[in-house]
Amino acid sequence: MARTVSQCGPSVCPESRVMLTVDHVSLTYPDGQDVLTVLKDVTFEVPSGLTAVVGPSGTGKSTLLRVIAGLQIADQGTVCVGEYCIDSSKHDAGTAQSIYVPQDFQLVPFLSAAENLQLAAEMRGRNVNDPEILLKIVGLQGLAKRVPEELSGGQQQRLALARALTVQAPVLLPDEPTGSLDSETSQGIAALLREIAHSDQRCVIVATHDSALVDVADSVLSIQSGKVQKIR
């Protein structure tokens, strides 16, 4: 039987603080006769809240998020959310503890906003009793019947975030969520991500170049030359 998603708004569903631990994670790719090091002995911890991961393009921000989500297996190291761990030595796959939100949204074009949410929930063995509640949380109230092409870029990003919330994972990993948005829309998405992180005590880790996200983040990680350093 499918589980039912509890749709929580601000100041609802208090949870214990999530701690994400990345421990000695390394990842390399073959590059012709050479080896390209993408992540080099990366170790850090972040609690619940909004964390921005910054760095030049091509330095591994997206790769780091995918490794945390278990979508990409590192050469070595462990990623833990509380007691749940992904151990690269055991080739563990991802769990519902961490949800990656891709930059291109990957919404189903012929399904309505509500149907996109229901499909995402069903794929995880869950139900969404009232999609309108989730849509309201992300600022899309009244748009349940619209298909993605009838939504703006900012609205599609909000729908992608609502889809991720159907899983109720403690860790949310949006990849460049404001990369194709204008300044005003970006500020709205940044505020929404901070609200999601704080209202439900989630750990939201965002790969970004956007100062609007960096400004509202609780902590900031910098990635360069395969190394991750906490700068705030």
Task: Provide the pLDDT for residue 96.
Answer: 62
Task: Provide the pLDDT for residue 11.
Answer: 33
Task: Provide the pLDDT for residue 128.
Answer: 80
Task: Provide the pLDDT for residue 151.
Answer: 96
Secondary structure of residue 104 in the 3-state scheme: coil
Task: Provide the pLDDT for residue 91.
Answer: 61
Q: Give me the domains of the chain, ranges plus CATH numbers.
A: 15-97+170-232 (3.40.50.300), 103-168 (no CATH)
DSSP H helices in the chain: 61-69, 113-123, 131-137, 153-165, 183-199, 211-216
Residue type, 179: G
Pick out the chain residues at pLDDT < 50: 1-16
| Each residue's pLDDT tens digit, 159-169 | 999 999 998 88
Task: Provide the pLDDT for residue 97.
Answer: 86
Task: Provide the pLDDT for residue 16.
Answer: 43
Quote the mean pLDDT of the chain: 88
